[in-house]
Amino acid sequence: MAREYQICSRCILDTTDPNIEFDEKGVCNHCRGYEKIAQRRVFEGIKAKKKLEELVEKIKQEGMDRKYDCLIGLSGGVDSTYVAYIVRELGLRPLAIHLDNRWNTRIAEENIRNIVDKLQLDLKTYTVDWEEFKDLQLAFLKASVVDIEFITDHGLAALIYKVANEKGIKYVLTGNNVVTEAVMPESWAYHKNDLVNLKAIHKQFGTVRLKNFPTLGILKKAYFQCIRKIRSIPILNYVNYVKEDAKKLMARELGWKDYGGKHYESVFTRFYQAYILPKKFDIDKRKAHLSNLICSGQMTRQEAMKQMEQDPYPDEQILKEDKDHVLKQLGLTDEEFEKIMSLPVRSHYDYRNSVKMLKFLRYVNTILGK
C-alpha cells in the first residue's frame, strides 16, 4: 500500500520531510520561514535600486586598480548565467570560475562557451583530478548519506576563495538567492562548509589520497572573510529575479538552452536528483524547488502540482543512458550499484563533523549583525 503524506496547504512540501510542521491552517514551517527570510534579504523597488547602485560603486572603487573587480562562479545553469549577464550589464569586470568535475552535459558546455563569448568574459576553468573526485563520490555513496553533491559545492567554494585571494579580488558575486533557493528541508542536504565531515567520510570509505582536490575548512574561510576581507554577495537578491523571465532573456541574448530541471547541467546531478534521491531516500527535490517558486509568487500551487505529476525522468531512454554513463564513469557494476542503493540510510551526523562549530559561528555572526 502506498504511503500517504500530509501536504502543506500553501506549497507542495509534505511529510517526506520528517521535520516538517504545520500550523492550524495547514501551512508548513518552510512557508513561514520563507516570509521571514524574504523580508530580511530580498530588496525591492527604490530600496533595491539604491542598494545595488551603492554596491556596484563600492565594487568598482575597490577594484579600480586591478584587472578584475569581482569574481563569479559559472556552471552554465540558470542562476550563474543570469549573474554573469547582470554583472556585465552593471559595467563590472568579473573573472569567471568554472569547476569542471567531468559531469558536464553537452548543452552545459555549449552554454558556457556562448556565455563567455557573448559577454566577453575571462574564464578560468579548474578540472578536477578525476581519480580523487571519483573516489570521493564513491565514498559518499558507500557512506549512504544524502548530500553527495556536497563534494562539488565544497570544492567550488574552496576554489573561488583561493582564486579571489590570489588575484586580490574582494567581491564574490554568487547566484544564491531567496526567491528560488531559500526553501529546502534541512534533512535533504548538508552543510557545504564542513570539511571535517568530508574528510571523515573519505577516510572511512575512500582509497585514494587527496592531494589536489580544493578544500576549505571553517577557520580558513573565516580567514578569507575576516582577515582578507573577501565578501560573498548574493546579487540576485538585489534585482527583480523572475526565473522564467530570466530564462527567456538568456535564450534571446546569449543563445542559452534550458536543461529541463534545476542543476541538470550535470549528468550526475540529474541522475542523483531524479533517481538516487527518490528511490533510496524518498526525496524529490522538485517539491522544495517548486514550493520556493510558490512562496515567491512565481508559480501557483496548481501549476506545481501539475509538474509533480510528471516523472523526474520523463524519458526512460535518458534514464538508461544516464545510469549506464554514471556507473561506467564510477567503475561500478549493476550489482555493486544496487548493493549501495540497498544500504541503510545514514546521517551525515553519524560521521565526525563540525556542526557545533558552524552553529557557534553563525550565532556569533548574528550577534555581530552580519
Give the residue among 141, 153, 140 at the shortest CA–CA distance from 198.
140
Q: What is the mean pLDDT of residues 75-102?
A: 97
Does any domain span residue 10?
no
For residue 2, being part of any structural domain is answered with: no
Within a domain: 3: no
The predicted-structure confidence for 271-309, as pLDDT tens digits, reads as follows 999 999 999 999 999 999 999 999 999 999 999 999 999
Domain limits for position 302: 44-368
Q: Give this prediction's pTM.
A: 0.93
pLDDT computed for residue 1 by the predictor: 46
Measured between alpha carbons, how far is 311 from 328 in angstroms, rounded to an integer? 24
**In this structure, is residue 176 part of a structural domain?**
yes
Give the residue-averaged pLDDT of 155-172. 98
The three cell numbers locating residue 185: 528541508
Residue 185, domain member (yes or no) = yes
Which of 29, 64, 74 minimizes the C-alpha distance to 265?
74
Q: At what angle do helices 106-119 and 243-254 cross, to 10 degrees?
A: 70
From the number of C-beta atoms within 10 Å of its C-beta (0-12, 13-18, 19+), residue 311 rates as exposed
pLDDT at 262: 62
178: in domain: yes
Question: How far is 365 from 190, CA to CA, in rounded Å?
Answer: 20
Is 177 in contact with 236 (CB distance < 8 Å)? yes
**Do the domain assignments include residue 6?**
no
Q: Count the domains in the chain.
A: 1
Within-domain flag for 11: no
Note whether 46 and 95 are within 8 A (CB).
Answer: no
Question: In this structure, what are the phi and psi dihedrals at residue 267, rounded to the nearest 5 degrees?
Answer: -60, -45
